Amino acid sequence: MNFEIPKETNPGKIVEVTIGATAKQGGTRSHTITIGGSTALPFHFFEGEHPHQPVIAMEVFDKVPAKYPASLMDYYRDVIDKPADMAKKCVEEYGAELISVRLEGTHPEKGNKSAEEAAEIVKQVLESVSIPIIITGHSHFEKINEVMKKVCEVTEGENCLINYVETDNYKTIAAACIAYNHTLVAQTPIDVNLAKQLNILLTDMNFPAEKIVVDPLTGTLGYGLEYTYSIMERILNDGLGGDKMLAFPMLINPGYESSKVKEARVSREDYPEWGDQELRGAYWEIATSVSLLAAGAELLIMYHPKAVEVVKKNISEMFDLKNGD
């Protein structure tokens, strides 16, 4: 029996989304980054187009995270409270392709920094690195709306990725993104319908489709990954299947999520069967990232330098296949 490769072609295509803007485009970035554009499942080079590789962002903070694992702190101790320096280190030493500035410190119960302070930090990061940046907020609606409005305004033209809006709080931030020309993350909690609904609401207010990135809300390995994984596969399948409201590139947060869990924090003495703590922290982030890459993630915000290195290398190796053929 002669074997014939069963190829499947899809009617749909994931929207191409570009983050960042060069001087020519009205910003100050040295280059832009584009994700999306595929017409087949991840790494299925034999049956479709994958014009862009998944990219890795690393994250810096406006205030030292309350629960930052010791194993990570060892890499960042000198810069953890200096977001601009930390960004530089992530880019130059660890190969970050984008920088996410997490503005947790503006939350009224976590520091209540003002919108102006936040804007200042973002500006410093923009000055210290030349790659495109992501601005990551929180769920205190009133405050984050104020902060994001300000940040969008002071970064006008930079085409930052504003992370995130949710179904119950999208209008203000989306309007700011339109006004100051930024790209937006639409975040919904692990549900295909909710993801689609928010995308519809955004496009219904004339938000441009090529400026939407979807965050299906990552659960990390062992903490909801079983749900996220399948929700992402379903979103991608539907998007490729021709559902335009689900055909957006997806962002995940393996770094943030993995750093929160017990596995990243407890010692081998307390949990001997969990093995080496140092390795475990990186492993957890790697397994989360790679499995979700297989499910369709295209933008990963990561923390652990070892994990970044190996995931990035594996993505390139896989894409060698495409370039080789």
Partner 1 sequence: MPLSGLDIFKLLPKTNCGDCGVPTCMAFAMKLAQKKAELSECPHASEEAKETLGAASEPPIRLVRIGGAHALEIGNETVMFRHEKTFFHQTGIALQLRTSENKEQLLSKIKEIENYKVERVGEELKTDLFFISHNSEEKDVFLKILQLVKENSTKGIILDCPDKEVLKAGLDWLRDEQPAIFMQEEATDKDIELAKNHNASLVLTAHSFDELARQSEKAKEAGVNDLILNLASKDAGLQLQNNTIMRRSALKKNFKPFGYPLFAFIQAKNEFDFLAKASLFLCKYDSIIVLPQFDEAMLYTLFTLRQNIYTDPQKPIQVDPKVYPIGEPTPESPIFVTTNFSLTYFIVSGEIENSGISAHLVVCDTEGQSVLTAWAAEKFVGEKIAKFIKDIKLEQQVKTRKLIIPGFVSQISGDLEENLPGWEVIVACQEASDIPSFVKNVKLT
Partner 2 sequence: MNKKYKVKFFPFESTVSVSSGTSILDAAKKANLPLKATCGAKGTCGDCVIRVLSGTYQSKHSAALSEELIRQGYALACQTEVNDNLTIQLPQFQELSIKIVSGSEFFEEHKNNISGIYEINPVVKSISLRVPPPTLEDSYSDLKRLEREFRKKLSTEDLNCEYSVLRKLAHVVREEKGEITIVVFRSGQSWTIIDVKEAKAAKNIYGLACDIGTTTVVLYLVELTSGKILSTASSYNQQLKCGEDIISRINYAQKPDRLQELHNLIVMTVNNLIDKATRSAKISTADIYSASVSGNTTMIHLFLNLEPRYIREEPYVPTFNQVPIILSRDLGLKMNYEGRIYCGPAVGSYVGSDITAGLLCTPLVRDSKKISLFIDAGTNGELVVGNSDWLMTCACSAGPAFEGSGTKCGMPATEGAIEQLIIENNGELEYKVINGSKPKGLCGSGLVDLLAELFIHGYIDRHGKFNVEKAKDRLVEDETGIGFLIEKGNNSYWGKDLIITEKDISNLIRTKGAVFSACSLLLKNAGLTFDKIDAFYIAGGFGQHLNIENSIRIGLLPDLERNKFHYIGNSSLLGAYLILLSDKNREMVNEISKKMTYIELNTEPSYMNEYTGALFLPHTEMELFPSVKQILNS
Give kind and range of the element (H or E) at residue 61. Answer: strand 55-61
Q: What is the full DSSP assignment across 89-157?
A: HHHHTT--SEEEEE-GGGSTTTT---HHHHHHHHHHHHHH--S-EEEE--S-HHHHHHHHHHHHHHTTT
From residue 301, how far is each of 37, 187, 192 by CA, in Å?
20, 14, 21
- Which option in partner 2, partner 1, none does residue 282 bind, with CB closer than 5 to 8 A by kind? partner 1
Residue 192 or 302: which CB sits closer to partner 2?
Answer: 192
- Which two structure tokens, joined as six digits, stand for 84? 């601009």
Q: How far apart, in whole angstroms, are the C-alpha atoms of residue 12 and residue 38? A: 9
Give the CA diameter of the chain.
70
Binding mask 151-190 for partner 2 (x = CB under 8 A): ----------------x-----------------------
Residue 65 or 83: which CB sits closer to partner 1?
Answer: 65
Binding mask 294-313 for partner 1 (x = CB under 8 A): xx----------xx-xxx-x
Q: How far apart, in whole angstroms, are the C-alpha atoms of residue 58 and residue 6? A: 38
Q: Are 246 and 238 in contact (CB under 8 A)?
A: yes
Residues 218-257 that bind partner 1 (CB under 8 A): 219, 221-227, 229-230, 233-234, 237
Segment interacting with partner 1 (CB under 8 A) among 1-9, 27-35, 178-186, 199-207: 1-9
Residues 184-213 that bind partner 2 (CB under 8 A): 191-194, 196-197, 200-201, 204
Q: Under rule CB under 8 A, how many of the chain's residues touch partner 2?
A: 10
Q: Which residues pair with 161 in a beta bridge?
A: 134, 183
Judged by CB under 8 A, does residue 280 bind partner 1? yes
- Which option in partner 2, partner 1, none does residue 80 bind, with CB closer than 5 to 8 A by kind? none
Report in angstroms how near the CB of residue 191 gets to partner 2 at its nearest. Answer: 5
Helix and strand counts by DSSP (H, E) for the chain: 10, 10
- Which two structure tokens, joined as six digits, stand for 145? 């709306």
Interacting residues toward partner 1 by CB under 8 A: 1-3, 5-6, 8, 41, 43-46, 66-67, 109, 139, 219, 221-227, 229-230, 233-234, 237, 260-261, 263, 272-277, 279-280, 282-284, 286-287, 290-291, 293-295, 306-307, 309-311, 313-314, 317-322
